[in-house]
């Protein structure tokens, strides 16, 4: 007979990874719940996984490509925008959903004990499933423009895609749980989440490539640790963009800092947030 002890007195840096692994079945259950609830009672259901990024890419093609005339470095506009949208959508979903995880699940947290970090982790995993479906759509375009149109040139950097996803997930999870921890006391932060993500998107090379930007502004944009990830992803599959191991290590460093800070703050707040939520 196993005995489990739940103690409210925990060390600040006690991240309970072993306990999270013990509850891995619960993570899977939350992932299934998220996937089932996303498009429940919708007409097209999972087809929205394909429709949303495609419609967004078409909209960007018309507004930024045709109307604004923003350069795509000679690449077909649809594949250029789809590359940025595919990986950015994963970050956006991880960040925005984890940023409200404590508030959205306060009723559940008040009824039963489980490691609170499980819910943010399940969000990132379910978002990864959606990314996988959208990534298949993107790969279909990559194959067409590579072997039919001969307009792009993927390279061996594509094998770094899992590492890029780890970086993106780390930023989304770390930033999201940090904001979620702060919104338990400062509610008005929740109103800035959507606006903040949109603003961050324009500060990240999603609709443009930094190759064509003045070097001064380019250096400023590359200070955004998300920029090297997006540029590397685009370079890997389309053959244009900036690829630098040094820049990726810069992103990795800030991802670790943000993730560790977010987990530590989340670990501290989760013990008392029911009193303030």
pLDDT tens digits, one per residue of 87-102:
999 999 899 888 888 7
Q: Is the pLDDT of residue 23 over 80?
A: no
CA–CA gap between residue 259 and residue 178 (Å, rounded)? 8
**Per the domain annotation, does 174 fall within a domain?**
yes
Residue 142: burial class (beta carbons within 10 Å; 0-12, 13-18, 19+): buried
Of 137, 17, 15, 8, residue with least CA distance to 81: 137
Q: Which of 5-19, 116-130, 229-243, 257-271 has the lowest mean pLDDT?
A: 5-19
For residue 147, give every residue at least 6 positions away whose Cβ sits within 8 Å of its Cβ, in sequence order, or none: none
Range(s) of the domain holding residue 189: 46-275
**Per the domain annotation, does 246 fall within a domain?**
yes
Q: Is the dihedral of CA 7, 173, 177, 244 positive or negative?
A: positive
pLDDT of residue 241: 82
CA–CA gap between residue 168 and residue 79 (Å, rounded)? 20
pLDDT of residue 30: 80
pLDDT of residue 275: 52
**Per the domain annotation, does 8 fall within a domain?**
no
pLDDT of residue 1: 46
**Per the domain annotation, does 156 fall within a domain?**
yes
pLDDT of residue 271: 64
**Per the domain annotation, does 242 fall within a domain?**
yes
**Per the domain annotation, does 31 fall within a domain?**
no
**Per the domain annotation, does 66 fall within a domain?**
yes
> What pLDDT digit, counting tens, does each position of 185-216 carry?
766 676 778 788 888 888 898 988 887 777 77
Q: Is the pLDDT of residue 13 over 70?
A: no
**Per the domain annotation, does 245 fall within a domain?**
yes
Q: Give the residue with greater pLDDT, 14 vs 186.
A: 186
Q: How many domains does the chain have?
A: 1
């Amino acid at each position: 007979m196993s005995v489990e002890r739940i103690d409210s007195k925990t060390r600040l840096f006690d991240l309970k990874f072993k306990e999270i692994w013990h509850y891995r079945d619960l993570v899977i259950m939350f992932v299934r719940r998220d996937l089932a609830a996303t498009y429940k009672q919708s007409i097209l259901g999972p087809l929205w996984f394909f429709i949303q990024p495609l419609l967004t890419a078409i909209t960007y093609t018309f507004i930024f490509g045709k109307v604004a005339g923003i350069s795509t470095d000679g690449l077909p506009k649809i594949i250029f925008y789809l590359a940025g949208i595919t990986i950015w959508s994963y970050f956006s979903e991880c960040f925005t959903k984890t940023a409200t995880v404590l508030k959205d699940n306060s009723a559940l947290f008040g009824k039963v004990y489980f490691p609170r970090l499980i819910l943010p982790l399940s969000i990132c995993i379910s978002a990864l499933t959606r990314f996988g479906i959208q990534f298949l759509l993107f790969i279909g375009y990559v194959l067409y423009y590579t072997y039919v149109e001969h307009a792009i040139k993927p390279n061996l950097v594509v094998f770094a895609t899992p590492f890029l996803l780890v970086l993106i997930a780390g930023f989304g999870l770390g930033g999201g749980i940090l904001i979620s921890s702060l919104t338990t006391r400062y509610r008005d932060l929740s109103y800035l989440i959507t606006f903040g993500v949109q603003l961050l998107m324009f500060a990240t090379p999603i609709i443009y490539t930094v190759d064509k930007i003045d070097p001064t502004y380019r250096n400023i944009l590359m200070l955004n640790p998300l920029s090297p990830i997006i540029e590397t992803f685009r370079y890997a599959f389309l053959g244009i963009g900036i690829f630098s191991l040094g820049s990726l290590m810069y992103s990795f460093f800030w991802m670790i800092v943000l993730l560790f800070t977010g987990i530590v703050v989340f670990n501290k707040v989760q013990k008392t947030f029911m009193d303030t939520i």
